[in-house]
Amino acid sequence: MKKMKWLAAALVLVLCMTGLAGCSSGSSNTLTLYTWEGMFPDEVLSGFEEATGLKVNYVNFDSGETMLSKLQAAKGGDYDLAIVDDYIIETAVNEGLAQKLDTSKLSNYGNINSIYQGQFYDPNDDYTVPYGAGVMTLIYDPSAVDIDIKGYSDLWDESLRDKVGVIANPRVINGMALKVLGESYNTEDTEVIERAGGLLIDLAPNIRLIKDDNIQVDLLSGEISVGVMYTNQVALAKLENPDLEIVFPQEGIGFGIMAGFIPSNAPNADAAYQFLDYILDAEVAARCFEWLCYYCTTEAAEPYIDESVKGFVTLPEGFNVNMEMIQNVGTDIEEIHTRIWDEFRAACGQ
């Protein structure tokens, strides 16, 4: 990847001229960034620090739910910028844990791909800046299976006994069974959800493992032959082994967006604006998405993305057909999903 010292120097000048670089002696010199591990390449974090004089305090969480509970406990404080999944953001906004953006502080705001804006969790784009999107994708090793996989329903085939790996995301995997039934991820019909739970129990003999982190490694090693994975995991696997087959399930595609928001009582909101604007720069964003391997939400970055990964991080034309976003459902429905998930894992011996 390109070194960014020239970009850092230019940004220092621009940011100081606009009063955003922490050049005044009264501002804090730390950005507390709250997101998953591995969301940014080191060169981008160090480039930001060099450009602004700010120190990045990178705090990680293991799940969006963990992040939300800690932000609730902090009453919207402690963290300057949070990057998390769409449905978590919806809850944070509804609970008053996010502050409205002043987009006049984001000179690169126009670089965002509008496809990823105006979504259910922030319909008027009042609170968020998108940072990556993905789909729930099937990927398999054709040399290790006896069937041509076209969709989720194929995972129930008896020939795949003890060969399938799935991510550890209850709504995604429960939703997979709902899609096989021709239903919405977000249905609140309890009878339908229970039927989907029964389907998952039938799938259990084919499940070898359930895990979120680095499940692509298990496909590459031959531990599993088929996987239901996140976009970046599929990309990493395919880059390592081009013979793997990627399948966008014929039953429908689950689609999600990650985005950044500034908590309502962020200790250093100015630092958050600086970081958001920095990663919205076209060339910086290109480095981010080459690293992240999720769909690039910064349209201006696309010409700068290396051709070797571009096909994995940019949406194919017409791709939004038959896509659905997983959204929040009522507490009683969520409890059913949790029970079904627990029963499924137990049946799988996981």
Any long-range contacts for 280-285 (C-beta under 8 Å, 24+ apart)? 280/106, 280/108, 280/109, 280/111, 280/112, 280/129, 281/7, 281/11, 281/108, 281/111, 282/108, 282/111, 283/2, 283/4, 283/7, 284/4, 284/7, 284/44, 284/47, 285/111
Question: Residue 59, Cβ neighbours under 10 Å: how many?
Answer: 16
pLDDT at 285: 98
pLDDT at 318: 57
Under a CB-based contact definition with an 8 Å cutoff, are residues 193 and 187 in contact?
A: yes
pLDDT at 23: 37
DSSP state of 110: G
pLDDT at 320: 57
Under a CB-based contact definition with an 8 Å cutoff, are residues 142 and 150 in contact?
A: no
Under a CB-based contact definition with an 8 Å cutoff, are residues 235 and 220 in contact?
A: no
pLDDT at 348: 97
Instruction: Tell me the CA distances in angstroms from 24 to 8, 29, 80, 160, one per residue in order.
Output: 19, 10, 18, 62
Helix (H) or strand (E) holding 347: helix 331-348
Helix (H) or strand (E) holding 263: none
Give the chain's mean pLDDT: 90
DSSP state of 158: G
* Domains defined along the chain, listed by start: 5-132+256-313 (3.40.190.10), 135-255+318-348 (3.40.190.10)
Which of 93, 132, 88 minimizes the C-alpha distance to 112? Answer: 132
C-alpha 297: how far from chain center = 11
The predicted model scores a pTM of: 0.83
pLDDT at 64: 85
Amino acid in position 259:
A
The 10s digit of each residue's pLDDT in 196-229 is 999 999 999 999 999 988 999 999 999 999 999 9
pLDDT at 20: 40
Q: How wide is the angle at C-alpha 178 spanned by C-alphas 247 and 231, nearest 5°?
A: 35
Q: Is the dihedral of CA 165, 169, 170, 171 positive or negative?
A: negative
Cα separation, 122 vs 297, whole angstroms: 15
Exposure string of 293-321, with b = 16+ CB inside 10 Å and e = fewer, is bbbbbbbbbbebbeeebbebbbbeeeeee
Under a CB-based contact definition with an 8 Å cutoff, are residues 263 and 76 in contact?
A: yes
pLDDT at 321: 57
Listed as ranges, residues in the chain with pLDDT below 50 are 1-27
